[in-house]
Amino acid sequence: MGKGRKNKPKKNFAEKRREKLKKKDEWDNTPHRSYADIIRENKDFEDYYKTQRIVPEDKWDAFISTIRTNLPVAFRITGSKVEAKALLKIIKSDFFKEILNANSKDDKGDADGSSKTILHSLPFYPEELAWQLQLTRKDIRRSEAYFRLHNFLIAETNNGSISRQEVVSMVPPLVLDVKPSHKVLDMCAAPGSKTAQLIEMIHADEGTDPPEGFVIANDVDNIRCYMLVHQAKRLNSPNILITNHDSSIMPNFVITKPDGTKDTLKFDRILADVPCSGDGTMRKNPDIWCKWSPANGSNLHGIQYRIAKRGLELLAIGGRMVYSTCSLNPIENEAVLHRLLCETGDSVQLIDCRDLVPGLVCDPGVTRWKPASKNLQYYDNWDDVPEQWQTQVRPKMFPPDANEATKFHLERCMRILPHHQDTGGFFVAVLEKVKSLPWENDTSALNQTAQDADGNENKDKHVLGEEVSQGTMLSESGKRTLEEEKKSRESQKKRRRIVGYREDPFVFFKDQTEDVWQSIKDFYGISDDLDPRCLLVRCHEGKKKNIYFTSPAIRDIVVSNENKVKMINTGVKTFVRCDNKNMNCAFRLAQEGMHSISRYINGHRKIQVSKEDLIMLLQNDNPHTPPEIVKLSPNTQECLKEFAIGSCILLYKEEETDNLNRLNLQLVGWRGVMSLRAYVPICDAIHYLRLLGADCSKFEKNKFEENRAAALAEDVNNDDVKTELETKEIKTED
């Protein structure tokens, strides 16, 4: 045994490399189908949705023609109100005017002679902070104005001041109506664009920092959780915790009350943007045209129901939960809500929140639909379903009787269709919990729901066609026995426990006696209002490298629940180890945590700088040659005379003008022996230079300028060659 493997000659590096290149050549020579080559037609799709009547007959042509086109670009302006307003002013004056001018020169209009609207603000999004652009890659390549905007969006996205997001994806957080004091749970949060909106709403009241509220962003997929980490880091909030758990069996979080006793956390707001078949995203994911089947929605109905049900259990009385999908299918939308409303009785109700998104065009939810099997056979009731399809079409997928339909108010749901305002398709419903759920008085049943992967679906757990975990679809080969299903679930539980990276621990400072704390506190003059127990590191032993800051509420949740839920990330980086022999403190400030920590730092590490000084500091992109202090204004030089070497805060406040939104910037700086520098990343420097109205072109690449320079160089070279040839010809004649 094993001799064959031992005697097999090993391949050397060159042979392995040749094989790899051969496979690459084979792959390169294989014809691939790009999105442009996909035929955007599917007869089953059209037949199914015509039967469901989700689109009025006279609007069908507009619907189907729109869903076959590419999706326009959309983005939001984020950050503090003052900076967002300033950035909006820059965009509208600098970039949009160029685009409109370029469009008036280049665009000849549509086939019917009408002019295409290149850009517009979204009417339902507050204060013109969200925009939609009718631009393609081809447009960007052919116009310098478009290309400059493209570069701008990339730079500001890296900085966190712009968020690229689909128009319809912006709706759920808006109708959730989050306030800064709310405890919010995002059950299926990745990739995190809606989570970012929720965090912004928590920080809406900029007078209270950090706010009382917080966001717990959860996702079952360990890898996708790191997309959430990326989004959260761009927003620099100490009020977010990212967790990795199956949301359909999310455990109860324990919290500490002011009197020191423990209690169960109930959320004021919950977003259940559940996994779905995604046929509303066909405009950006055209491969769905090839894969679409009515079975896709039926297979997801069960997990969608379980996530939404668990969400209602975690919701506080008087709280709201938004249920949303990017699917058009009533089986994934109204059928799930109907099932929930039947079980919860009068403890939960659908509410109409269209007033929170004025100007948004949408249709009401449907009250009639027909479940269908994979072979596109439609059924009016469960008794009509043949046995072979009873694992896919379930009894609770059917609509309410005509006599009872009105009591569920499914018309309060919002169906956003592609042709309404040139977007993707989306479904949104807002549920309000008016009293305890019928089974919430049974403590043992509730505990079972929180801990058992089967939840309240035990009666259906032998049935095929419903997912056993998010993102996992069962085969359709037939029913399993109860014993086989148990074994399958146990193996999945075990796999879920060990999957993903092993996270570093969250080690909070114990109290004022933490070894590095006193030197940090003394050097920066930090007030006693900052509780050092809200600071954490990610290691038990060794030197503390990065120190993070969290809100007190997030700290309590992490400490009380880290053995129940896998914690991925929390806290905003505030202090970074910097072993500089000239510095009295071993830690410098981090720009990420500036807004969270600056209010606790007294004036002796803060420098008021002029606009001219700040621009000069930001334009210096060479850390080895920072601006000398003698080049700064006399006032700044005077402030720096008795200023100790090390990390500091640069303050700039715009002079009083008619503008109500005066800039008030706080940046990390570094006071050297003979110099001063702005200690911020390049993307932040570009952002602040824009806000200050300064030139930041040295940081930007302009493809059109580069092409012009290359063409000029080529012309010069051609002239040189021509001259040389002419010279040779003259010599030959001589």
Catalytic residues: 326
CB-CB neighbours of 2 under 10 Å: 6
What does the block give as tokens for 124? 């339902």
Strands 646-653 and 606-608: parallel
Strands 566-570 and 240-244: antiparallel
Measured distance CA(235)–CA(200) in Å, rounded: 8
Q: How far apart, in Å, are the Cα atoms of 495 and each of 221, 363, 492? A: 12, 42, 5
Helix, strand, coil share (%) of the chain residues, nearest 5: 45, 15, 40
CB 328 within 8 A of CB 427: yes
Q: Which helix (H) or strand (E) holds 456?
A: none
Measured distance CA(371)–CA(387) in Å, rounded: 15
Q: Which helix (H) or strand (E) holds 431?
A: strand 426-433
Residue 120 β-bridge partners:
132
Q: String of b and e for 627-659 (b: at least 16 CB within 10 Å)? A: bebeebeeebeebbeeeeebbbbbbbebeeeee
Measured distance CA(309)–CA(545) in Å, rounded: 42
Q: What residues contact 393, with CB distance under 8 A and at least 6 apart? A: 298, 371, 372, 373, 379, 382, 385, 465
Q: What residues contact 187, with CB distance under 8 A and at least 6 apart? A: 218, 247, 250, 270, 271, 272, 273, 274, 307, 310, 311
Q: Where are the alpha helices (DSSP H) in 10-80?
A: 13-29, 43-52, 60-67
Q: What residues contact 140, with CB distance under 8 A and at least 6 apart? A: 146, 147, 150
What does the block give as tokens for 456? 């309240």
Measured distance CA(520)–CA(525) in Å, rounded: 8
Site of tokens 């929180």: 450
Instruction: Give the closest residue to 218 by CA, choosing from 195, 189, 191.
Output: 189
Contacts within 8 Å (CB) and 24+ apart, 254-259: 254/560, 254/561, 254/564, 255/553, 255/556, 255/557, 255/560, 256/556, 256/560
Residue 628 β-bridge partners:
675
Residue 282, Ramachandran bin (φ over 0: left; ψ between -120 and 50: alpha; else beta):
alpha
Measured distance CA(184)–CA(321) in Å, rounded: 10
CB 671 within 8 A of CB 651: no
**What is the CA angle 509-511-514, rounded to 5?**
65
What does the block give as tokens for 597? 């920590």
Q: How far apart, in Å, are the Cα atoms of 704 and each of 106, 347, 713? A: 17, 61, 14
What does the block give as tokens for 293? 């089947």
CB-CB neighbours of 695 under 10 Å: 11
